[in-house]
Amino acid sequence: MAKKSKKKEREILVVASKIRDYIKEKDCNTSGEFISELSDTVYCLIDKAINRAQENGRKTIQAKDV
């Protein structure tokens, strides 16, 4: 029996075809789980930026929050 992922299923935030094309241009291949892991990393980065903006009393996320 396959293990169920403990992560909540979330929408993919990256354009998979663009990512795969870029990786292919660099003469590499993309594993099946790479896109979802990359998207999870993007969610984490966005959440950190949101927290930083809120800690600074802003509702607008700016480049400096990344």
Each residue's pLDDT tens digit, 47-56: 999 999 999 9
Give domain limits for the chain: 33-66
- pLDDT-derived band at 10 (thresholds 50, 70, 90) equals confident
pTM listed for this prediction:
0.79
- 3-class state of residue 66 by DSSP: coil
> What span, in angstroms and rounded, lies between the C-alpha atoms of 66 and 58?
14
> What span, in angstroms and rounded, lies between the C-alpha atoms of 16 and 35?
6
- 3-class state of residue 59 by DSSP: coil
- pLDDT-derived band at 29 (thresholds 50, 70, 90) equals very high
pLDDT of residue 65 exceeding 90: yes
Residue 22, token pair as written in the block: 């870029």
For the chain, give the percent of residues with pLDDT over 90. Answer: 83
Q: CA dist 45 to 3, 31, 37, Å?
A: 27, 22, 12
